[in-house]
Amino acid sequence: QKEVEQNSGPLSVPEGAIASLNCTYSDRGSQSFFWYRQYSGKSPELIMFIYSNGDKEDGRFTAQLNKASQYVSLLIRDSQPSDSATYLCAVSPFNQAGTALIFGKGTTLSVSS
Amino acid sequence: KAGVTQTPRYLIKTRGQQVTLSCSPISGHRSVSWYQQTPGQGLQFLFEYFSETQRNKGNFPGRFSGRQFSNSRSEMNVSTLELGDSALYLCASSASSGPSYEQYFGPGTRLTVT
């Protein structure tokens, strides 16, 4: 059973701090990794994707991937109250021809002003 | 560019009925995937359609089916509805099919089965 694990939280950080969200996956051959943000009552919104080991930065967001440790993380710098949402980690399994993703159950982030 | 659209947005059905949900992908996108989201199970993959063919299927019973039309629009059907089918059904489109293609979600259809 291929799994993606996330701490459900809530993760609480003050405004302006760095929020660190973590995700582990069981399928060692997983190919692609995505972070989605989901506000309450809304659909998931893609914020980052990463395919290679290392860091990838996009504005206030940095995704980090360590395939040897089967670990992917998302850092949010200068956190804002508007970042308060559930963050979903998604993984594309090994040896899959299509676009199916396995999702973690998400980490709830709360940024206090 | 317009995003993914789904209709209807809300639906209430009775056990035993069937339902059809519709999804129009982002213009130019050829792959459509369907997911079910519930509080207990989270987001789970149902199936993917690419070039009118089912590319992948998740671990759901045969009551769940879908199709894709030549304009890439997709429908999913659930027959003999059960209470446990109450969920948010999300459609996601991507430019093509494959693990490196990003998926963009529509607003979802909230299905309630009574």
Q: What tens digit of pLDDT does each residue of B39-88 get?
A: 999 999 999 999 999 998 999 999 999 999 999 999 999 999 999 999 99
Q: Which two three-digit tokens encode residue B38?
A: 């519930």
Query: Which residues of B are less than 8 Å from A101 in CB distance?
Result: 33, 45, 103
Chain B touched by A15 (CB under 8 Å): no
C-alpha distances (whole Å) from B37 to each of A72, A103, B22, B107, B111 are 22, 10, 16, 12, 11
Of all residues in chain B, what percent carry a pLDDT higher than 70?
A: 99
Q: Omega of the bond prior to A44 within 30 degrees of 0, cis?
A: no
pLDDT tens digits, A49-79: 999 999 999 999 999 999 999 999 999 999 9
Predicted local confidence at residue A49, as pLDDT: 95
Task: Give A6's contacts in chain B (Cβ within 8 Å).
Answer: none
How high is the pLDDT of residue B99?
A: 86
Point out the residue among B31, B42, B99 whose CB comes nearest to the CB of A92: B99
Q: Do B100 and A32 touch (CB under 8 A)?
A: yes
Rounded percentage of chain B residues whose pLDDT exceeds 90: 92
Using alpha carbons only, give the angle A79, B107, B38 rounded to the nearest 5 degrees. 85
Please state, rounded to an integer, the average pLDDT across all residues of chain A. 95
Q: Is the separation of the CB atoms in B54 and B41 below 8 Å?
A: no
